[in-house]
Structure 1
Amino acid sequence: MIVKDESEHLNTCLESVKNYVNEIIIVDTGSTDNTIKIAKTHGAAVYEYTWTNDFAAARNFALSKSTSEWNLILDADEQITNWDKDKVNKLLQNDHFIGKINIKSNFKQNNEERYSQIYISRLLPKGAYYSGKIHEQVMSKLTRVELPIDVFHTGYFQTDKSERNLKILKEDLSNNPRNAYILYQLARQYKTMNLYQKAAHFFRESYQAADRSEGYFTDLVVNYIYTLIELKQYYPAFEMIDQMNVPLGNSPDYQFVCGIFYMNFVLSDTAKNIDFLPLIERSYLICLALGKQNEREIVLGTASFLAAYNLGVYYEMFNQKEKAKEFYEISAAYHYLPAKSRLLTL
């Protein structure tokens, strides 16, 4: 771990992981609170490190202090929620892979608390290392394997690291001007700040440079479309959807944003665009079908309660109350409060 002033989170993190690891390596980059004291109460080896605006360098310094054959990387605002010890230990008998763990995060969207999930390379064999000043990535040609390890991350919830992130991302981009991943992260940062023109520019640059096999590609496309919707740039969004219907057709998040797009497009000029109305319904029905096929969501609910709720709204709008009630009930079964509220009014 690399930490600084994490006394609020560190104890919870270390309590969650202590039964699964043999040693704890903490690299502190200048804490002035009780971070180091808390780390030492958990038996951690603590090393001081001068921060240089380079997360990969700090990660690699921490890895250099480990005596273990395998290394789990965590941040202080993360905690282990599930770890299948038997399955993980069996897999670790083979050292020819990089382990990906499922990281679930909460964030604010439409004045609601929502959750996302993504598998990230975090369990590394000795010798693997990081590259990238921020949103650092593991540099290895080894196969990536998903492990039965779940982590809950609170770092995106009501916190603002924009100034720090932008500074480092811009530095990184100046050294790698055509790096699709840096461009994508810069675009996401601007979108988080509601600077949609800048976000669209960098999403477009990233999209043009990206390898479609990269794990972040679906999220890139989905967030690019959301950004174009915010800017009311419907025809570039149409072009994107036309290109992505086949390669991303099995992504609930992609189908969900298509539903959002068609709704906004129809409402922008109802008389002119009314023929696209059925595509709203179609998109959300595909979301639910993909959910039944267990296709993985990035944002939780796009293949279940969020899609069902939006269908309920769609049917209610056309006074199809029985259909609206049916889909609100599907959504409410997931304890989605807006769906429960709509049911009370029908």
Structure 2
Amino acid sequence: MKPTISLVMIVKNEERTLLRCLESASKYVDEIIIVDTGSKDQTIEIARDFGARIYHFQWVDDFSAARNYALDQTSCDWCLVLDADEYISNDSYDTIRTFISKGPAIGKVKRIDDFSGSDGINHEITYISRLFPASCRYVGMIHEQIVSELPRIQVNVEIQHDGYLQQTKSDRNIPILLKAIDLNPGDSYYHYQIAKEYRGIEDHEHSFHYFKSAYQAMNRMEGYAASIIINYLYSIIASRHLEEGIAVIQNEQEFMFDYPDFYFVSALYLLELILSDPDQYGHMISTIEQFYMKALEIGETEKEGSVVGTGSFAAHYNLGVYYEVTGDLVKANEQYELAAVYDYRPALDRLELYK
């Protein structure tokens, strides 16, 4: 008998995105389990239109409790877990069916997170455990994780996620994360997650504090270790704690040797450092060029935490800006042209000024 699979979701007031999510995923599953934690909008009506089995759960500030209750309701062999602000963007039917037919394992899907940057919408890659046997359960009151000894295997399921563009959930998430940190003070994961929440609401001082704590607590075996280092450097720039960055860059080049994002943010950092005190740091200006060239040499990757463009169009554009500022307009134009191949708007705008 072929194994069966449930789409399992917890929701609350998701009418803006739930239809898109269910349209993308319903064709891949045998049943849909929706657990609602208190919707006041049309969420439940949208779910009913897809034949979902709907349950209600009293919210207790614990995502694992809600997720595990939802998993308890499934009648299938496997579960696919999505949030309402996510949707599957590639044809995954054969991938999913082949994976669940091979026996127990945890499927890690690729999620592309949209977030706002200075140059528009950026896209960060993460890998998350979302396809697993129905016997698996979550732990953690927020940013919950599947606990299992089963092997974790990347599967070619691509999920788009635009929830970070809304930033409507920080008021809920931050208190839960603070509670989790109180219970697990040495856990780098919760410090990392709360730092991202504070970054999302542009509280750069708190974001810096928690990224620094995450950096100091991590052991580099974490799947998100590289992301901590990269985002710590961004937080150093945003919070203007520039004195903190030199040691991070010096200490992490060996560990981060194949991450274009690391060299990209290091170049951004050096520019800010030099501008803060040209007399003391001006001699480091050529290193900016070296770092952008290194990012381009590595190129685009599919690594955890990588932001699309740091190994291609964004690095070409920023290198162009570097050449323009240092007076080499020929090289600047070359880099803008290379970035424009990707239809990168800042580069296209810059080239218009050359005409």
Corresponding residue of 1:226: 234
Matches within 5 A, 1:280-291: 280-291=288-299
Q: Judge which range, 294-303 or 315-324, deviates more.
A: 294-303
Answer yes or no: is the 8 Å Cα contact 1:196–1:231 preserved in 2.
yes
Q: Please state whether the residue corresponding to 2:16 is helix, strand or coil.
A: coil
Answer with 117-126 or 294-303: which moved more. 294-303
Distance 1:18 1:231, change over 3 A: closer
Question: For residue 64 of structure 2, what is the aligned residue in structure 1?
Answer: 56
Q: Secondary structure at the match of 1:18?
A: helix
Aligned pair 1:39/2:47, yes or no?
Answer: yes
Between 204-213 and 69-78, the greater mean CA deviation after superposition:
204-213
Q: Tell me if 1:178 matches 2:178.
A: no
Partner of 1:101: 109
- Alpha-carbon offset, residue 126 of structure 1: 2.2
Distance, in Å, in 1 between the alignment partners of 2:23 and 2:93 is 16
The 5 A counterparts of 1:1-346 are 1-110=9-118, 112-291=120-299, 294=301, 296=303, 298-346=306-354
Please give the per-residue CA displacement for 1:132-168, whole angstroms capped at 9, x wherever unaligned: 1111111122221111111111211133322111111
d(CA) in 1 for partners of 2:183 and 2:48? 38
In structure 2, relative to structure 1, the CA distance for the partners of 1:156 and 1:218 (3 Å cut) is same
Give, in whole Å, the separation in 2 of the partners of 1:295 and 1:148: 12
Amino acid at match of 1:127: S
Question: In structure 2, do the counterparts of structure 1 residues 313 and 111 end up closer, same or farther at CA, with 3 Å as the change threshold?
Answer: closer
Identity of aligned residues (%): 40
Q: 1:211 offset after TM fit, Å?
A: 2.8
Greater shift after overlay, 64-73 or 267-276? 267-276
Partner Cα separation in structure 2 for residue 253 and residue 179 of structure 1: 24
| 5+ long unaligned stretches in structure 2 | 1-8
Asked if structure 2 preserves the Cα contact closer than 8 Å seen for 1:59 and 1:130, the reply is yes
Structure 1 contact 255–286 (Cα < 8 Å) conserved: yes
Alpha-carbon separation, structure 1, partners of 2:221 and 2:104: 21
Cα 1:213–1:329 change in 2 (3 A) is same
Q: Deviations over 1:33-92 (max 9, x none)?
A: 221111111011100111111111111111111112211100111111113332332222
Contact 2:95–2:157 (CA<8 Å) still a contact in 1?
Answer: no
Matches of 2:119 and 2:254 in 1, distance apart? Answer: 32
Query: What does the per-residue CA deviation read over 1:204-239, in whole Å, with 9 as the maximum and x for residues that have no partner?
Result: 222222131211111111111111122333332111
TM-score between both structures, scaled by the size of structure 2? 0.93
Asked if the contact 1:184/1:220 (under 8 Å) is kept, the reply is: yes
Displaced runs of 4+ in structure 1, greater than 3 A? 294-297
Name the CA shift for 1:201/1:159 in 2 (closer, same or farther; >3 Å). Answer: closer
* Deviation readout 1:177-222 (Å, 9 max, x if unpaired): 2211111112222222333332222222222221312111111111
Work out the CA distance in 1 between the residues paired with 2:182 and 2:279: 47
Other structure's SS at 1:178 match: coil
Shift of 1:255: 1.1
TM-score, structure 1 as length reference: 0.95
> Does the 8 A contact of 1:108 with 1:158 survive in 2?
no
Superposition RMSD in Å: 1.6
Residue 111 of structure 1: how far off its partner (Å)? 5.6
Secondary structure at the counterpart of residue 164 of structure 2: coil
State how far apart, in whole Å, the 2-side matches of 1:271 and 1:178 are: 39
CA distance in 2, matches of 1:271, 1:291: 33
User: Secondary structure of 2:177's partner?
Assistant: helix
Whether the aligned pair in 2 keeps the contact of 1:250 and 1:295 (CA below 8 Å) is no
| Range moving further from structure 2, 3-12 or 81-90 | 81-90
**Which letter does structure 2 place at the counterpart of 1:281?**
E
Q: How many residues align?
A: 345
SS in 2 for 1:79: strand
Instruction: Return the alpha-carbon distance in structure 2 between the equivalents of residues 57 and 95 of structure 1.
Output: 26
Report the AA paired with residue 56 of structure 2.
E
Indicate if the aligned counterparts of 2:28 and 2:92 stay in contact, CA closer than 8 A: no
Q: Distance in 2 between matches of 1:276 and 1:330?
A: 25
Equivalent-residue separation in structure 1 for 2:13 and 2:205 (angstroms): 34
Secondary structure of 2:249's counterpart equals: helix
More moved, 91-100 vs 173-182:
91-100
**1:248 partner amino acid:** M
For 2:321, give the aligned amino acid.
V
Q: Find the residue that maps to 1:135 and give its secondary structure.
A: coil
Report the Cα offset of residue 295 of structure 1: 5.7
